[in-house]
Amino acid sequence: MNGMLTTGLLHWPLWSLVIVWLATLHVTVVAISLYLHRDQTHRAVTLHPLVRHFFRFWIWLTTATSTREWVAVHRRHHTQVDVPGDPHSPRVFGLKAVLFDGVNLYRQAASDPETLRTFGHGTPSDWVERVVYDGRGNLVGILLLMVLETVLFGPLGLTLWAFQMMGIPVLAAGIVNGLGHAMGYRNFDTPDVSRNILPWGVLCGGEELHNNHHAFPGSARFSQKRGEFDLGWMYLFILEHMGLARIERVSTQGPHANPGQTLVGHKVHLMSIYLREVMRPTWHMVRRSGFRPTRRDRHLFWLAPKLLDGSDSDRADLDHLLASEPVLRTVYEFRERLHRIWENGALAADRLEGLREWLNQARASGVHPLEFFSERLHLLIDNPALATESLLPTR
């Protein structure tokens, strides 16, 4: 009896509980990424009902998270990303608040009836969801897990349970929502500050590829370039071949049948290439001429124009930077005009007409990187068969 009270029914050593913690945390991460995120929020994949319910049960058991609340908060994040109204943006609340108080930020957004009513549609509403997973029994799951692990592992089971309760807030609320909008690298010029934390999405099930996801939120696969790995996509690939999942949408970076039309149709591709092929070399060209910018200058120059709205100090500092360097002003203004082509043209034909006018003016800009880019893009649009990575690289 004394042995059972000190070590539990299983008498497992401490190192084995570390493995249990890592294994259960991994299943929870996969459940959130595949079920809550890719299946329920973005409908990029349709999981088999058995897989869905296993993930629903597991999330209830290990996190007490409501499907409707999680989906609603995340959809709101995508509609108001990195601007006031975003429920967990480091740009709005500060990185420290999202890293260390992300759970409370999530709870505040999830308790808003308007958020749930506007963004929580299409989630499960059966009896089990209403009464157990999202109702009176919402906390029963994690309490049941605490009792079960205490019986199996003794007092160390309580420690195991405590670490399990801390795991997801750190990985999801902290790392993905916090660091995913604060540090890392960007593949795509999205209208936010999202970043890929690492090119290997293993620890968070692929959610580390956050900038890729914001560029293509409807894609079931988050990896977009060579060298990137999305663990969640690997699991979906396996489930699909077992008949337990159906992939609905996968976005790829490179142009396919008609590269010119693909670039016209997908703003994120073209803006990202513009950033890499025009703004970056122009910035370095100006620096080589003797210009000595500050870190803030560089930040404002790269920042998406949308994120300057409502910030008088940012706009004033950016205007001062661009007034002091006419070449930077030229490429920045052409970038803003390229953004407006998509805002003003609902149809691909309208965008193509606006793009042709933009190209004609870019070729007479007097800025070598911009002229070179416009020449190559003009060839690509008029002659899709000429599209090669050397003509307009996409990687």
Owning domain of residue 11: 2-190+222-247
- What local confidence, expressed as pLDDT, does residue 99 receive? 86
- What local confidence, expressed as pLDDT, does residue 191 receive? 82
State the total domains in the chain.
2
Three-state helix/strand/coil letters over the chain: CHHHHHHCCCCCCHHHHHHHHHHHHHHHHHHHHHHHHHHHHCCCEEECHHHHHHHHHHHHHHHCCCHHHHHHHHHHHHHCCCCCCCCCCHHHHCHHHHHHHHHHHHHHHHCCHHHHHHHCCCCCCCHHHHHHHCCCCCCHHHHHHHHHHHHHHCHHHHHHHHHHHHHHHHHHHHHHCCHHHCCCECCCCCCCCCCECCCEECCCCCCCEHHHHHHCCCCCCCCCCCCCEEHHHHHHHHHHHCCCEEECCCCCCCCCCCHHHHHHHCHHHHHHHHHHHHHHHHHHHHHHCCCCCCHHHHHHHHCCHHHHCCCHHHHHHHHHHHHHCHHHHHHHHHHHHHHHHHHHCCCHHHHHHHHHHHHHHHCCCCCHHHHHHHHHHHHHHHCHHHCCCCCCCCC
253 inside domain: no
- What local confidence, expressed as pLDDT, does residue 390 receive? 40
- Domain match, 130 and 266 both: no
178 inside domain: yes
214 inside domain: no
pLDDT tens digits, 264-307: 446 777 888 888 889 999 999 998 888 888 888 888 888 777 67
- Domain match, 106 and 29 both: yes
Model confidence at 44: pLDDT above 60:
yes
Give mean pLDDT, residues 371-391.
Answer: 67
- Domain match, 123 and 14 both: yes
